[in-house]
Chain A
Amino acid sequence: MSETTLLEIRGLTKYFPFRPTFFSFRSKKYVRALDGVDLSIQRQETLGVVGESGCGKTTLGRTILQLIRPTSGHIIFEGVDITALSRRELRNYRRHMQMVFQNPYSSFDPRATVLQSLAEPLRTHTKLRDEALIRRAQELLEQTGMPGDILFRYPHEFSGGQLQRIAVARALALNPKFIVLDEPTSALDVSVQAQIINLLQVLQRDLKLTYLFITHDLSVVQHISDRIAVMYLGKVVELSQTDTIFTGGVQHPYTRALLSSAPILDPELRRERIILPGNVPDSANPPTGCRFHPRCPLAQEICTQIEPDLMTTGDGHWVACHLVASNHKEDN
């Protein structure tokens, strides 16, 4: 693992068992939320993860932080495989990795004051108490653009944007290196979304943070990410530099369709729309071969049988598609 890599994910899978019907006690089935994800995240970069609902992007974020234990696979954080750690050992690593959730209204205990919410990680992981603790809490609030005198107020007294700032303050409490941002602006209005995105970018620069930014909003991910991973049914189908993806370097047919279906304000940026037929398949019964083949406009015989691997086409661009792979071979 090179010096610049903060986190490496190898063959990560997460299967959630479920009973197909209430009475089928024996026959267990599995929802394959993550099915073999390989990614590496560099220090101080923002890796954007995009995909439609049910593609496993939220499960990915939670599994990396070990909020959900994976079914198999490894997560290597600064050279240590954190999937192999006991709960006690893991606790020390938690301070380096934090999370901000989508809905700021439900990520605070409604009966806890701002101080209580901010103090909890500090009490658990540091020796700060009393006045030093309050000073640290105030410092965190000011860092995220909130006044320091709101410590004794309750979550319901704030708007969504203000609460999201407090959630960011809480995530920063232990000076983490890595933050998973799970749709942090999706519940906010456009004018407030811009404030939060700016805040996140300033903090990243000042505190040298690394972000995993999960979202379904393509214009936001384009703005904030250095690299983008596109997920479909529990797999990464394309991984590339942001610029490559948005300047016509897209190679996977799914990414192309996804980009073309987002409504775009600026008429000069509009692409010809590719309307995908059908819906995202059930991840308990993914299609054989390439998971995208039933909806793919370019599907061929091979796609129905063999699942394509994520292969590099050079320049840090990875694609899982038979067509791209065969074109690339011909070129060389």
Chain B
Amino acid sequence: MMAAPLLSIDKLHVQFRTYAGVVHAVNGMSFDVRKGEIFGLVGESGCGKSVTGLAILRMVPHPGQISAGSILFHGEDLLLKSKSEMQAIRGGRIAMIFQDPSASLNPVFTIGNQITRVIRQHLPVSRDEAKERALSMFAAVGLPDPENIFHTYPHELSGGLQQRAMIALALSTGAELLVADEPTTALDVTIQAQILVLLAELRDKQGVSILLITHNLGVVAETCDRVGVAYAGSIVEMGDTEDVLYHMKHPYTHGLLAALPHPSRRGQLLQAIEGNVPNGLALPSGCPFHPRCEHVMDVCREKKPELVCLGAEHLVACHLYDEQRS
């Protein structure tokens, strides 16, 4: 058996009460992040991947509410923590970085000011010790000339350097888990490659576990150990990256991969998945993918499939595999 997971999310539900009705953003999301791994959470817009990331830190914005489920971190339920306990965990033991680094950094303070404030908030160190720690973090994330970076304002740095500074800031307090929500989406491909290499290095050298939320299957293929594919607020397929991407079982995963352009299909039409991603206001009955699924059966319209184990690590939520339930 594998080591106990660092983070374990079980049947998480998040709802937003709006004037138009209740939006079910996350619907029974379940997955684990193990120590020292990069777990990829992939899906299209509106599948609940970002809201799940925010829920881990209890930062779901108003009018969102975590309505059911549990989020265990080191075996303790984060949903039962008090506000002040949560404040110590947030930024201390679990850190988060977002898509747009320029929106995450405060434009009126220097990078050094912001990072030392975070360090001193969470650790009992003097100002000088905090600065020392900050400079060593800058070096660890590959920022050139740390002393100089310490005194710059965010706008003086390019997007790639800002994202590096954000990662330094996030990990400066020795966080064990980094939730990275689309950390490279706003960056150019050559810079994206630099940041992905950095994340893998941090995992190898500092043993940080990373939950990488992304929509880019290429990024997943090249950086993640395991991956979960989300659709309409829950996981439809999960397992080792290789199993999920190259031996996929769920019709949605299959459709998603087939829709990508591939050199061998040049000149042909792409295999689009018909229809649109469902919106959380009016989810389809039964399996949320059934209106777009090629293999739809009667049972799919009535009953939502559970995650079923196929092989040691490969889980699928689809009625096609009901018989193989072990």
Listed in ascending order, the chain A residues whose CB lies under 8 Å from chain B are: 52-53, 159, 161-162, 189-195, 197-198, 201-202, 216, 218-220, 222-224, 242, 246, 257-258, 260-267, 269-270, 273, 275-276, 279-280
Interface string of B230-260 (1 = CB under 8 A from A): 0000000000000001100000000111011
Whether A201 lies near B45 (C-beta < 8 A) is no
A190-B256, A191-B44 known; A265+B217 contact, CB < 8 A: yes
Listed in ascending order, the chain B residues whose CB lies under 8 Å from chain A are: 44-45, 158, 160-161, 188-194, 196-197, 215-219, 221-223, 245-246, 255-257, 259-263, 265-266, 269-274, 276-277
Whether B276 lies near A192 (C-beta < 8 A) is yes
Inter-chain contacts of B158 with A (CB < 8 A): 279-280
Secondary structure at the A interface, as helix, strand, loop or mixed, is helix
Q: A224–B246 Cα gap in the complex (Å)?
A: 24
Whether A195 lies near B272 (C-beta < 8 A) is yes
Whether A279 lies near B160 (C-beta < 8 A) is yes
Q: A195–B273 Cα gap in the complex (Å)?
A: 8
Inter-chain contacts of B277 with A (CB < 8 A): 159, 189, 191-192
Nearest 8 CB-CB pairs, A to B?
A263-B218, A223-B261, A261-B193, A194-B272, A189-B44, A194-B270, A194-B259, A52-B188
Whether B261 lies near A220 (C-beta < 8 A) is yes
- Residue of chain A at shortest CB distance from B144: A278
Inter-chain contacts of B216 with A (CB < 8 A): 263
Whether A192 lies near B266 (C-beta < 8 A) is no
Q: A201–B267 Cα gap in the complex (Å)?
A: 9
Q: A100–B261 Cα gap in the complex (Å)?
A: 21
Contact for B191 among A198, A202, A279, CB less than 8 A: A279
Q: A2–B262 Cα gap in the complex (Å)?
A: 34
Whether A261 lies near B45 (C-beta < 8 A) is no
Whether A197 lies near B261 (C-beta < 8 A) is yes
- Residue of chain A at shortest CB distance from B262: A266
* Closest chain B CB from A264 CB (angstroms): 5
Inter-chain contacts of A220 with B (CB < 8 A): 261
A263-B216, A279-B158, A279-B161 known; A191+B266 contact, CB < 8 A: no
A192-B276, A194-B272 known; A263+B196 contact, CB < 8 A: yes
A220-B261, A222-B266 known; A190+B217 contact, CB < 8 A: yes
A189-B215, A194-B270, A195-B272 known; A276+B260 contact, CB < 8 A: no
A189-B44, A223-B265 known; A261+B270 contact, CB < 8 A: no
Whether A275 lies near B197 (C-beta < 8 A) is yes
Whether B218 lies near A222 (C-beta < 8 A) is no
A-B contacts, 5 listed (Cβ < 8 Å): A53-B188, A191-B277, A223-B265, A261-B190, A263-B192
A262-B218, A265-B260 known; A198+B272 contact, CB < 8 A: yes
A223-B265, A262-B189 known; A194+B273 contact, CB < 8 A: yes
Q: A280–B255 Cα gap in the complex (Å)?
A: 36
Inter-chain contacts of A280 with B (CB < 8 A): 158, 188
* Closest chain B CB from A297 CB (angstroms): 12
* Closest chain B CB from A296 CB (angstroms): 12
Whether B190 lies near A191 (C-beta < 8 A) is no
Whether A263 lies near B222 (C-beta < 8 A) is yes
